[in-house]
Amino acid sequence: MKHTIKKTLTVLTAALLAVSATAKDITILNVSYDPTREFYDEFNQVFAAKWKAETGENVTIKQSHGGAGKQARAVIDGLQADVVTLALAYDIDAIAEKARLIPKEWQSRLPDNSSPYVSTIVFLVRKGNPKGIKDWGDLVKPGVSVITPNPKTSGGARWNYLAAWAYELGRNGGDQAGAQEFIRKLYKNVPVLDSGARGSTTTFVQRGIGDVFLSWENEAYLAIKEFGDDYEVVFPSVSILAEPPVTVIDKVVDKRGTRAVAEAYLNFLYSEEGQELAAKHFYRPRLASVAAKHKQRFPDINLITIDDVFGGWQEAQATHFNDGGTFDQIYGK
Amino acid sequence: MRTFRTIVTTALVGASVGAVSPSHAEDINNQIQQLDQKVRILERKLEIADENAKAAAEKTPVAKADASGFSFAAPDKSFEIKFRGLIQQDARFWFNDDENPQSDTFLLRRVRPTIEGTVGKNGEFRFTPEFAGSSTTLLDAYTGYKFSDAVRLRAGKFKSPLGLERLQSGSDIRFIERAHPTSLAPNRDVGLQLSGDLVKDVLTYEAGVFNGVVDGGSADSDISDDKDFVGRLFATPFKTTDIDALRGLGLGIAGSIGKEEGSGTTTGLASYRTPGQVRVFSYLTSTNAADNVLADGDRTRIAPQLTYYYGPLGVIGEYIVSSQEVRKDDQTTTLDNDAWQIATTYVLTGEENSFRGINPARPFDLAKGQWGAFELAARYSELNVDDQTFPTYANPNRSVAGIQSWALGLNWYLTRNLRSSLTYEQSAFDGGAAKGADREDEEILFARFQVSF
């Protein structure tokens, strides 16, 4: 009998040790948009090392990238994301509204509207800028071929579209019909609609199509970093303040028991180390001290906001990108 | 494509520069650049269309229609629904039936649509009604869950895992009617079953608890509180070896244990039939309760079984002994009825024989001169009723004490789904006629046309 008890205790202890050992290996999934691949590749490694040092736990961060709208739909359809780091708030709002995986007030939970870094839209042109493209107005000229993804599936493309609309509104004194006509002409010059920003980079850089690529600032610098002197960045007279937001997916982290690590992961984006990494990958840091350090890399340009010009993402989405919205009217013609 | 484009571009530029003025050359160069862009755009559009098609394919349900049936499935098969069916149109022609006249007849033997599928990756279900016969019955209706290859849970109404030939699908049996051991094995029963591989490809098991049914019977509910426990082990010990001649050898043992208590309305006892489905044995029943024979206690069955397949040759053999405590008024005893069969088949056209039927290598197609597959079959089978049964529990002048049957068959597999069969079966009887004489032999020719998918 004694032997039996002893054996049982040994087995139980071994089992508990085994369970404890496995409990220290955590995996979380970050569902993000197209151009953040390289940034999160490095950020994840740095965070995992930090988390290990602080808690002793091994954390593996898996990444999923694609057009922001498609990514949001995947989460709504059941993709078990612990955190999402998407291109625009509207797509995360959709996760709150359609799947109810997060509270509606998700954006107020972290500083700066839950956008730890910002970016903007710039023009990437071929070396020497052979078509002389300097501002949005040049994009509607005959013979200019413009590369931008599909705003129905890409968050970046929606920023492009709205930046162009805002430019024309500013130029023509607020004439919405004129802005719509301007956008129609612009998309007439778009030969290929990719589903995401990374696909458009492929189209412009690797397939050699088009004269100008409407690009995330970080994606443009990344292309130059990879392909050197073949391209130039052009800053238009006005662009848009793009605030890619982040949040934990509450129902997933609570079910998987990963809330602590998921929250720490996002908070680390706001730390000086996280902000430095963002700047390194050409995202504009929020933290003033880090932003000041990288001022030369990110020139000051006139940045309009979604709230100021379009009344927020909900209104912009409904007017321009929902089925039957202005984009459908323009592109359907 | 790119190489071709480069060659054309180079050739055109070279030709134009050499043959025309500088301004004209520039125009031509611009046109070439525009054409180059158009080609690149078309290529990219095709590339994107291809990517989109692949992405869509990953989400689009797969509809399938082939020899195994019709189905719809999620791309990863996690959800699937299959529509299957079995229709058997039979004919029975009796010979030498002067003493016990039978009608030669066409009949629908089995008409069974089946809906089955998976729910999630591990959930399963099946629903099969039977439309043949005088009334519609629910044949199979079960749900299940696969925890692993070793543990599968099934709940509902389905075949009790005891009789070897009973477990063979009705579309795959090689004679028109199953042999006598099936008369002693439970048919469909309601209960819970665990099954799986104890050793992959070598040893499988089934173990379940069921309401319990009479020999050869099916039921939707129990007539008493007691339940039957049924189990089966089946081994193919050489299946994974290199010994070709033994790879197709299968050996099994099945058994059941339970209790049955009959009543005035339901005796809890079976009657037995000939291959021609004529009832030739039944226990005594009477309007006087004291003269009724009832099940009254333990019911056990033991069933060793064997299969052997080697190339076109197939053999199955099984033995079943069914023991049941019975009571008539104040007399009780345990009656042991047994049955056995040995059957062999040979595919004349050389296809691989198997427990699950024949897949013709050259499906029937007159235009191509293909005739499908042909198979010869022979069987001997016996049923023996316990001697103690007579005359206390059964009338020897009306119920037989034994049946000995031999059968010859020819099966023509036109395709995997179409089959035509002929079986001649002759049965001799012990007793069962007036004054203790033997009942007249049954000689019957069966024909069948079958569609299954």
Decide: B336 and B386 in contact? Cβ < 8 Å: yes
Of A294-303, B155-164, B350-359, the poorest mean pLDDT is in: A294-303
Percent of chain B with pLDDT over 90: 81
User: What is the rounded average pLDDT of the residues B301-317?
Assistant: 98
Residue B8 scores a pLDDT above 70? no
pLDDT in tens, chain A (333 residues): 445 545 544 554 454 344 444 446 899 999 999 889 999 999 999 999 999 999 999 999 999 998 878 899 999 989 999 999 998 898 899 999 999 999 999 999 999 999 999 999 999 999 999 999 999 999 999 999 999 999 998 888 999 999 999 999 999 999 999 999 999 999 999 999 998 888 999 999 999 999 999 998 988 998 888 887 899 999 999 999 989 999 999 999 999 999 999 999 999 999 999 999 999 999 999 999 999 999 888 988 899 999 999 999 889 999 999 999 999 998 865
For residue A18, the model assigns a pLDDT of 47
Residues of A in contact with B41 (CB under 8 A): 191-192, 209
Would you give the DSSP letter of residue A204?
I
Torsion of CA B55, B59, B60, B61, to 10 degrees: 150
Tell me the helices (H) and strands (E) count for chain B, helix number first.
5, 20
Q: Is residue B12 very low, low, confident or very high in pLDDT (cuts 50, 70, 90)?
A: low
Torsion of CA B307, B308, B309, B314, to 10 degrees: -80
Condensed to tens digits (0 to 9), the pLDDT of residues B95-141 reads: 989 888 999 999 999 999 999 999 998 999 999 999 998 899 999 99
Residues of B in contact with A199 (CB under 8 A): 48, 51
DSSP string, B432-445: BSGGGPBPPPEEEE
Instruction: Report helix, strand or coil for B168.
Output: coil
- The residue type of A176 is Q
Residues 46-105 of B with CB under 8 A from A: 47-48, 51-52
Q: Which residue in A has a C-alpha nearest to residue B43's C-alpha?
A: A207
For residue B121, the model assigns a pLDDT of 85
Of A19-33, B183-197, B216-230, B289-303, the poorest mean pLDDT is in: A19-33
User: What is the rounded average pLDDT of the residues B50-74?
Assistant: 88
User: What is the rounded average pLDDT of the residues B3-17?
Assistant: 53
**Pairwise CB contact (< 8 Å): B43 & A194:** no
Q: What are B406's strand-pairing partners?
A: B380, B426
Long-range contacts of A167-175 (CB under 8 A, 24+ apart): A167/A135, A167/A136, A167/A137, A167/A236, A167/A237, A167/A238, A168/A136, A169/A309, A170/A238, A170/A304, A171/A137
Cα–Cα distance, A257 to A262 (Å, whole number): 10
List Cβ neighbours of B106 (8 Å cut-off, separation of 6 or more): B89, B90, B91
The Cα of A212 is separated from the nearest Cα of chain B by a number of Å equal to 13
User: DSSP 3-state helix, strand, coil percentages of chain A (rounded to 5)?
Assistant: 55, 15, 30
Residues of A in contact with B45 (CB under 8 A): 192
| Greater model confidence, B60 or A128 | A128
The Cα of A311 is separated from the nearest Cα of chain B by a number of Å equal to 33
Residue of A188, A209, A211, A213 to mutate, interface with B, max B Cβ within 10 Å:
A209
The Cα of A140 is separated from the nearest Cα of chain B by a number of Å equal to 17
Quick one: which H or E segment has residue B45? helix B22-59
Instruction: Report helix, strand or coil for A302.
Output: strand
User: What is the rounded average pLDDT of the residues B259-287?
Assistant: 93
Give yes or no for B121 touching A (CB within 8 A). no
Residue of B2, B35, B46, B48 to mutate, interface with A, max A Cβ within 10 Å:
B48
Q: Which of B295, B141, B155 is nearest to B214 (CA)?
A: B295
ipTM, interface predicted TM-score of the complex: 0.71
For residue A19, the model assigns a pLDDT of 41
Residues of B in contact with A207 (CB under 8 A): 40, 43-44, 47
Would you give the DSSP letter of residue B289?
G
**Pairwise CB contact (< 8 Å): B41 & A199:** no
**Pairwise CB contact (< 8 Å): B41 & A209:** yes
**Pairwise CB contact (< 8 Å): B40 & A207:** yes
Residues of B in contact with A194 (CB under 8 A): 48
Q: Is residue B20 very low, low, confident or very high in pLDDT (cuts 50, 70, 90)?
A: low
Give yes or no for B37 touching A (CB within 8 A). yes
Provide the whole-model pTM: 0.67
Cα–Cα distance, B354 to B343 (Å, whole number): 13
Strand extents, DSSP E, B24-100: 62-66, 69-73, 80-95
Residues of A in contact with B48 (CB under 8 A): 192-195, 199
Residue of B43, B44, B45, B46 to mutate, interface with A, max A Cβ within 10 Å:
B44
